[in-house]
Amino acid sequence: MNARARLIAALAGLAASILVSGPARAQTCAPPGSLSAADSQAIDRLVRDAMREHQVPGVTLAIVRDGRIIALKGYGDADIASGHPVDPRRTLFRIGSVTKLFTYTAALQQVEQGRLALDTDINRYLPPPGLRVPAGPPVTAQTIMGHRAGFETAGLGYDFFGDTARVPTLRTFVARHQPAIVRQPGDATAYSDFGPTALGLAVETVSGEPYAAYVTRHILSPLGMASTTLAEPVAASLPAPHGRMVPELAARTATAYASGSPAAAPLPVEHIFPAAAPAGSAWSTAADMACFALAWLNDGALGEARLLSPETVKAMRRRNWNDRLGATDFAHGWFQRDLGEAKAYQHTGGMLGFTANLLIVPERNIGLFIAGNSNSAWPLTLRLPDRILTRLDPALTWKPAPARPAPGELADYAGLFLANTRSFTRLEGLLALADEARVEAAGPDALWISLPGGAPERWTRIGRDLFESPPYGDRIRFVRDAQGDVVRFYHPMGHRGFDRIPFWRSALLLWLSLALTMGLGAVLLGSILALRWQHERRALKLTAAATAIIGITLPAIGVAAARALEDPALAFHWPPPALRLLVGWGYAAALAAIALFAMLPAVRPASGLLAPRRTGLLSALSLGASVILLWLHNLFAPAMQ
């Protein structure tokens, strides 16, 4: 970009920031309101500081209160290369799982019309073949909205597509790609994309309208959300068997990035329309999402439009289950938690290069929508809403609950836990190695809890099995079985549980076993090179050499596989070649360990550290142990259904 172009872009960006950062102007769905100058400036500082800290290129924000849109703000770049600024009225961000709120709204509309019941087997409303459910309680709309249908978390290789030609229809997707049901419906929360997708198909079936058309006709259009769509921008070079986002909207979409670094390259679009559209395909503007928030704050109505009856909305604000009081859980699809003196309802969303969060507090008649166009925006979109709303309404400020010491009880919680949002039957279950949590006592009234990817945090006991952490008042609740033993705790966001696991199921034991295998492989190779095997049969020497090489090559293969799993577009080409190589290594290791162990009786007795029988036995045993542990972590499971 030359100097003149940079100057023009800078002036355009300045003008746009003036236009989009001020009070909300004319908006079709609600009268405008305004923020005080002090509040507006404070919010700007919060957002811009967070954007710098987390390298977020662009952010869009809407705040609603008392039936008015009091702020529409855009920050940074919708596209780094062009310097095009974010416009909260025009720039479309992908809202990911916030789309599920459209699906739940549509389902409740069908409930009101008598076509769908929340507690009836969902298969009654699905086209054949329906869901495959083990004997026992059925999967229902209720269990789906509470994320307790029992589905494992699986979908790499067919949930998200880079090639639009491979995206199936919604009906085909549900019939072909159902994850296994691994726990009894209603038992435990484990966030699922498939459940809401199946619910969207149920809406399509009972209403007689395609899902996207239904949502547009009965939710988006009545609210005046003309800049919201479930369709996707499809590159001209790609086929579009299911249609493209209309050009006028596609021209206004923000570009996705891993971070806001000046050198950041755009990320590709994750295509899920129409296959999993009910779970996360929507794009929207902050202005449009303000309209949706206002409708929910106003008991389902906005102006002349009514989405749901007041009675239905009030019923939807009740939790599906009441076994996690004091901590976050689902209320008919919304994450429900305490925010200061009030109950807050929210839903977050994330797709490749986008994060979003919609938060409403009906008791205080206030709400907020925020989104960013980078993977690095997660901390911003998760934490800023609370900080912004508590500034505007002090009643929402967190007040620490008094600690309740119970020294003798804290040992009950200590141990290792593994997230239940994982695959139990497929290769991607290997990814759960990074999803462990550790709990340790931290005095008479607190625990140290290390969640996946985070440092240990101190959680204070405020009630039986209930712990709280500053500065946001996050809460964790532990769950006991019928014998009174602690078997699970739930993430502060409430979307998944962590089940207690024994040490033999831990990632640490696997790493130790693999390290030992590598070391003993080196010792075995040293024994061979020292000519300690020169008098053994050729087949035996070759088997020993193969076992040693397999053990020694593990680090290189493991590192390559780990790096491949960090690819942001991993879902487009699952499983990656490096992981396929690791699977092949596993099979080779199993065969080598069995062969060497079977042939060891023929090895001639000898003494010394590098004695063939000793080094061969230890290497075969460690290799076999590593293979067994990898099997427990799904290395040999199918890559996909």
CATH number of domain containing 373: 3.40.710.10
Nearest to 465 by CA among 478, 447, 452, 480: 478
Cα gap 563→581, rounded to integer Å: 13
Helix runs in 85-193, H state only: 99-112, 141-145, 170-176
Tell me the percentage of the chain whose pLDDT exceeds 70.
Answer: 95
> pLDDT for 559-588, tens place per residue?
899 889 888 888 888 999 999 999 999 999
Q: Give the angle 438-443-449 at the CA atoms, nearest 5°.
A: 20
Confidence category of residue 641, pLDDT binned at 50, 70, 90: low
611 or 179, higher pLDDT: 179
> pLDDT for 125-183, tens place per residue?
999 999 999 999 999 999 999 999 999 999 888 888 888 888 999 999 999 999 999 99
Q: Which two tokens stand for residue 118?
A: 């929340």
> pLDDT for 224-253, tens place per residue?
999 999 999 998 888 988 999 999 999 999
Asked whether residue 310 falls in the same domain as residue 326, the answer is yes
* pLDDT for residue 25 is more than 70: no
| Predicted TM-score of the model (pTM) | 0.92
Q: Which of 439, 467, 501 is the last residue of a domain?
A: 501
* Sequence-ordered list of residues with C-beta below 8 angstroms from that of 127, at least 6 positions apart, any chain: 171, 175, 201, 205
Establish if 38 belongs to a structural domain. Answer: no
* pLDDT for residue 633 is more than 90: yes
> pLDDT for 47-78, tens place per residue?
999 999 999 999 999 999 999 999 999 999 99
- List the beta bridge partners of residue 42: none
Asked whether residue 515 falls in the same domain as residue 493, the answer is no
DSSP string over 242-288: T----HHHHTTBPPPBSS--TTPPBPPPPB-TTTTHHHH--EE-HHH
Asked whether residue 444 falls in the same domain as residue 382, the answer is no
What confidence score (pLDDT) does residue 248 get? 97
* pLDDT for residue 532 is more than 90: no
Helix runs in 77-169, H state only: 99-112, 141-145
**Residue 122: which domain range?**
94-396
Tell me the percentage of the chain whose pLDDT exceeds 90.
Answer: 80
Q: Estimate the crossing angle of helix 378-392 against helix 37-54, to 10 degrees.
A: 160
Asked whether residue 520 falls in the same domain as residue 490, the answer is no
Cα gap 429→579, rounded to integer Å: 13
Largest CA distance in the chain: 92
> pLDDT for 283-328, tens place per residue?
999 999 999 999 999 999 999 999 999 999 999 999 999 999 999 9
Helix runs in 158-210, H state only: 170-176, 194-207
Asked whether residue 213 falls in the same domain as residue 299, the answer is yes
Asked whether residue 295 falls in the same domain as residue 246, the answer is yes
Please say whether the beta carbons of 258 and 355 come within 8 A.
no
Asked whether residue 238 falls in the same domain as residue 377, the answer is yes
Poorest-pLDDT segment among 80-94, 341-355, 399-413, 438-452: 399-413
Q: Which two tokens stand for residue 437?
A: 């949590």
Establish if 568 belongs to a structural domain. Answer: yes
Asked whether residue 181 falls in the same domain as residue 258, the answer is yes
- CB count, 10 Å around CB of 502? 9
Asked whether residue 486 falls in the same domain as residue 535, the answer is no
* pLDDT for residue 604 is more than 60: yes
Residue ranges with strand state E in 362-426:
366-372, 415-419
Q: Give the angle 170-225-378 at the CA atoms, nearest 5°.
A: 70
Please say whether the beta carbons of 30 and 64 come within 8 A.
yes
Q: Give the angle 621-622-626 at the CA atoms, nearest 5°.
A: 115
Q: Half-sphere exposure of residue 559, counting CA atoms within 13 Å on the CB side? A: 5
Helix runs in 337-473, H state only: 378-392, 407-410
Residue 51: enclosing H or E segment and its boundaries? helix 37-54
Average pLDDT of the residues in 339-351: 97
What confidence score (pLDDT) does residue 353 get? 96
Confidence category of residue 537, pLDDT binned at 50, 70, 90: confident
Cα gap 431→613, rounded to integer Å: 36
* pLDDT for residue 10 is more than 70: no
Cα gap 51→35, rounded to integer Å: 21
Establish if 479 belongs to a structural domain. Answer: yes
Task: Give the chain's domain count.
Answer: 3
Establish if 79 belongs to a structural domain. Answer: no
Establish if 46 belongs to a structural domain. Answer: no
Establish if 9 belongs to a structural domain. Answer: no
Asked whether residue 380 falls in the same domain as residue 416, the answer is no
Q: Estimate the crossing angle of helix 507-529 against helix 612-632, to 10 degrees.
A: 150
What confidence score (pLDDT) does residue 26 get? 41
Residue 283: phi and psi, rounded to 5, are -120, 145
Decide the pairing of beta strands 58-65 and 68-79. Answer: antiparallel
Q: Which of 396, 429, 464 is the last residue of a domain?
A: 396
Please say whether the beta carbons of 528 and 548 come within 8 A.
yes
* Terminal CA-CA length for the chain: 48
Asked whether residue 467 falls in the same domain as residue 538, the answer is no
> pLDDT for 464-483, tens place per residue?
999 999 989 999 999 999 99
Please say whether the beta carbons of 283 and 266 come within 8 A.
no
Poorest-pLDDT segment among 191-195, 366-370, 613-617: 613-617
* pLDDT for residue 536 is more than 80: yes
What confidence score (pLDDT) does residue 612 get? 85
Establish if 82 belongs to a structural domain. Answer: no
Asked whether residue 450 falls in the same domain as residue 325, the answer is no
What confidence score (pLDDT) does residue 28 get? 67
Residue with token string 């079985």: 481
Strand, coil or helix: 122: helix
Poorest-pLDDT segment among 22-36, 168-182, 519-533, 589-603: 22-36
Establish if 262 belongs to a structural domain. Answer: yes
Residue type, 395: A
Q: Which of 501, 524, 554 is the last residue of a domain?
A: 501
